[in-house]
C-alpha cells in the first residue's frame, strides 16, 4: 500500500485539505521539495545535462571517424583501425546514455553533428586533439556527476560511474600514445612501428584495466 502524505496542497488553484485528499509521497510537492525526491521521473536539469553528454559522445564518434579516414588515406592502417574501433565505442557510449534517458521517463535527443577538421599535420596533432577532446568529455561527465549529487539523483549518479571509469582509461591511453609518439619524433621507421603496434598497446591497456 502506498504511503500517504498528510500535508495539504493545492489543486486547480484552490487549496485542498488533508481531509479531502491524501497524496502519495511521490505526488506531494512539499515532500518532494524538502527531500529533493523526484520518484521515477528524471529531474529536468539532469535530462538536459545527459542530452548534452549524448551530443558530446556523438561528436566524439564523428571526430574519431574523420581522424580514421585521414589516417587510412595517409597509409597509417593500424592507427586507422584503432580510430574506426574507437568511433564505434563512442557511438555505443552515446546509445547507452540514450537508452538510460528514455528508460528514466525523459526523452533522448538525437544530436546533429557538425563536421570537424579533416586535415592534420601528422599523428602527433591527431593524438593531441584526442587528448584535448577526452579531457573536455571528462569535465562534462564530472559536471553531470556533480549535478546528480546536487539534486539527489543517486540512480543517475550510479549510472555515470561507468563513464567516470571509462574516461580514466581513455585519457591514460591518449597520454601513453603521445609519449610513444614523442619518442618516435619524425623518424619514419619509428612511426611505422607505432602504426604497426598501436592495436597491441590498446589491447594491453584494456587487459590491465580489466584485470
Environment class of 64 (CB within 10 Å of its CB; exposed 0-12, middle 13-18, buried 19+): buried
Least CB distance to ligand FEO at residue 110 (A) = 17
Sign of CA pseudo-dihedral 140, 145, 150, 155: positive
Identity of the residue, 28 or 71, whose beta carbon is nearer to ligand FEO in the bound complex = 71
Per the CB < 8 A criterion, the answer to whether 131 and 178 are in contact is yes
> Does 134 help bind ligand FEO (rule: CB under 6 A)?
yes
Least CB distance to ligand FEO at residue 134 (A) = 5
Distance of CA 30 to the CA centre of its chain: 33
Identity of the residue, 90 or 195, whose beta carbon is nearer to ligand FEO in the bound complex = 90
Could you identify the residue written with the cell 589491447? 203
Least CB distance to ligand FEO at residue 72 (A) = 20
Phi and psi torsions of 14, nearest 5°? -110, 145
Could you identify the residue written with the cell 623518424? 187
Identity of the residue, 93 or 157, whose beta carbon is nearer to ligand FEO in the bound complex = 93
Identity of the residue, 57 or 184, whose beta carbon is nearer to ligand FEO in the bound complex = 57
CA–CA separation, 21 and 158 (whole Å): 35
Could you tell me how many residues make up the chain?
211
CA–CA separation, 158 and 194 (whole Å): 37
One character per residue 142-181, x = contact with ligand FEO (rule: CB under 6 A): ----------------------------x-----------
One character per residue 74-113, x = contact with ligand FEO (rule: CB under 6 A): ----------------x--x--------------------
Positions that interact with ligand FEO (CB under 6 A): 57, 60, 90, 93, 134, 137, 170
Amino acid at each position: 500500500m502506498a504511503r500517504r502524505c498528510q500535508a495539504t496542497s493545492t489543486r486547480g488553484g484552490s487549496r485542498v485539505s488533508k481531509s479531502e485528499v491524501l497524496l502519495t509521497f511521490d505526488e506531494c510537492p512539499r515532500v518532494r521539495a524538502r527531500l529533493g525526491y523526484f520518484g521515477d521521473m528524471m529531474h529536468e536539469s539532469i535530462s538536459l545535462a545527459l542530452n548534452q553528454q549524448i551530443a558530446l559522445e556523438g561528436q566524439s564518434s564523428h571526430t574519431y571517424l574523420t581522424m580514421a579516414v585521414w589516417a587510412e588515406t595517409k597509409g597509417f592502417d593500424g592507427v586507422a583501425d584503432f580510430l574506426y574501433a574507437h568511433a564505434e565505442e563512442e557511438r555505443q557510449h552515446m546509445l547507452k546514455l540514450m537508452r538510460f534517458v528514455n528508460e528514466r521517463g525523459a526523452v533522448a535527443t538525437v544530436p546533429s553533428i557538425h563536421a570537424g577538421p579533416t586535415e592534420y599535420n601528422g599523428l602527433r596533432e591527431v593524438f593531441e586533439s584526442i587528448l584535448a577532446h577526452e579531457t573536455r568529455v571528462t569535465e562534462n561527465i564530472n559536471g553531470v556527476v556533480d549535478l546528480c549529487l546536487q539534486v539527489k539523483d543517486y540512480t543517475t549518479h550510479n549510472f555515470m560511474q561507468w563513464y567516470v571509469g571509462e574516461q580514466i582509461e581513455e585519457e591514460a591511453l591518449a597520454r601513453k600514445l603521445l609519449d610513444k609518439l614523442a619518442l618516435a619524433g619524425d623518424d619514419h621507421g619509428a612511426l611505422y612501428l607505432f602504426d604497426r603496434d598501436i592495436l597491441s598497446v590498446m589491447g594491453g591497456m584494456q587487459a590491465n584495466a580489466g584485470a
